[in-house]
């Protein structure tokens, strides 16, 4: 049975109120998970412990059923069979009455209103409760944060989950929100030696240059006004090295150019596309000759980008 010293205030761990919405809890968890992730704090045992607590708190508070039990029963929320709040006088009625039972299964069966009969194999079958004692083992949910490089190339990770070290292979091309199933690494069933599965939700840490927009990989590429007008060939970074990209004449600021096969690794092999979003950047400090030629262009151009605005009226 849990004691008061075992109780963890998951709301305090995440720093949210008890009325926080699931979206707020998820947002706060992601921010803190990035801050305390072991990969970003190598050798820091305090950060590792904090990261483990954050995962545990997130797993409970993001699951509506678990959160309801946690809010109702407090430190006793995860004890098998609890159907009412523990006594308020500091005693534990379940503990006081347990000695009358021959084993824990008998205690659970009585608590749930089930009967037992001896089976042909010498064991016991449960009936009257509508299900057998060999209940499915519970699955476990956890999050794992990866850098862009780890998610793109794939990586081997060692996770510490409930004091157990688990080796996990993350395949190349993992994306934010994708899930990985690891069989037999969830929590054990209270009714059998079987274990559930572990489901890992992928979090990809922000990159200073690349980002996702849906299934596409995006980057912003600054260009000069003359490159936009006359066209140019420029060097553009991709996840596996720079390539030369041709800018056609007359492109607009904000226009995107596709680099086929230079985007994210696809789970079934191959590569997606990278979209380079052009951002026109004007120079702040001009040399004398640049100033002269820009003035000549301004004095002699016939192009009016605001011609259509003349027809606008209320």
Averages of pLDDT over runs of 10 residues in the chain (314 residues) are 62 89 87 80 83 86 85 66 43 41 49 45 42 59 91 90 84 90 80 81 94 91 96 96 96 96 87 95 94 95 91 90
Domain 1-86+99-118: top CATH class: mainly alpha
According to the model, what pLDDT value does residue 233 have?
97
252 contacts: CB under 8 Å, gap ≥ 6: 228, 278
The number of helix segments (H) and strand segments (E) in the chain equals 9, 13
**What's the Rg (C-alpha) of the chain?**
30
Do 1-86+99-118 and 136-206 share a fold? Answer: no
Contact at 8 Å (CB) between 233 and 241?
no
Domain ranges of the chain: 1-86+99-118, 136-206, 211-285
The long-range contacts involving 236-245, CB below 8 angstroms and separated by at least 24 positions, are 236/276, 237/209, 238/262, 238/263, 238/274, 239/148, 239/152, 239/210, 239/263, 239/264, 239/265, 239/274, 245/221, 245/276
Fold of 136-206: HSP40/DNAj peptide-binding domain (2.60.260)
Comparing CA positions, the residue from 186, 181, 224, 190 lying closest to residue 111 is 190
- Give the CATH number of domain 211-285: 2.60.260.20
According to the model, what pLDDT value does residue 201 have?
92
According to the model, what pLDDT value does residue 106 have?
52
Contact at 8 Å (CB) between 175 and 212?
yes
8-state DSSP, 178: -
Give the other-Cβ count within 10 Å of 164's Cβ: 8
According to the model, what pLDDT value does residue 76 have?
61
According to the model, what pLDDT value does residue 92 have?
40
Dump pLDDT digits (tens) for 10-43. Answer: 888 899 998 888 888 988 888 888 788 777 777 8
pTM of the model: 0.54
């Amino acid at each position: 049975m849990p004691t008061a010293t075992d109780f963890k205030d998951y709301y305090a761990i995440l720093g949210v109120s008890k009325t926080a919405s699931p979206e707020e809890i998820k947002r706060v968890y992601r921010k803190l998970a990035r801050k305390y992730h072991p990969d970003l704090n190598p050798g820091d045992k305090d950060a590792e412990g904090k990261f483990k607590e954050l995962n545990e708190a997130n797993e409970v508070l993001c699951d509506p059923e678990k959160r309801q039990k946690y809010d109702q029963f407090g430190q006793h929320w995860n004890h098998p069979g609890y159907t009412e709040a523990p006594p308020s006088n500091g005693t534990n009625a379940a503990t006081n009455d347990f000695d009358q039972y021959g084993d824990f299964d008998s205690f659970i069966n009585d608590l749930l209103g089930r009967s037992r009969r001896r089976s042909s194999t010498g064991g016991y079958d449960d009936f009257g409760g509508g299900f057998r004692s060999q209940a499915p083992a519970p699955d476990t949910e956890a999050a794992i944060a990866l850098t862009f490089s780890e998610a793109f190339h794939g990586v081997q990770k060692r996770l510490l989950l409930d004091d157990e070290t688990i080796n996990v292979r993350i395949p190349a091309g993992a994306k934010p929100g994708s899930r990985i199933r690891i069989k037999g690494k969830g929590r054990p069933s209270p009714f059998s030696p079987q274990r559930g599965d572990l489901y890992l939700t992928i979090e990809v840490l922000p990159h200073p240059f690349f980002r996702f927009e849906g299934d596409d990989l995006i980057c912003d590429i600054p260009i000069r006004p003359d490159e936009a007008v006359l066209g140019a060939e420029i060097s553009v970074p991709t996840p596996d090295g720079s390539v030369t990209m041709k800018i056609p004449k007359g492109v607009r600021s904000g226009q995107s150019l596709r680099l086929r096969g230079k985007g994210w690794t696809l789970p079934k092999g191959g590569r997606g596309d990278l979209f380079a979003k052009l951002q026109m950047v004007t120079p702040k400090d001009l040399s004398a000759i640049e100033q002269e030629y820009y003035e000549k262009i301004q004095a002699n151009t016939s192009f009016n980008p605001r011609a259509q605005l003349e027809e606008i009226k209320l």
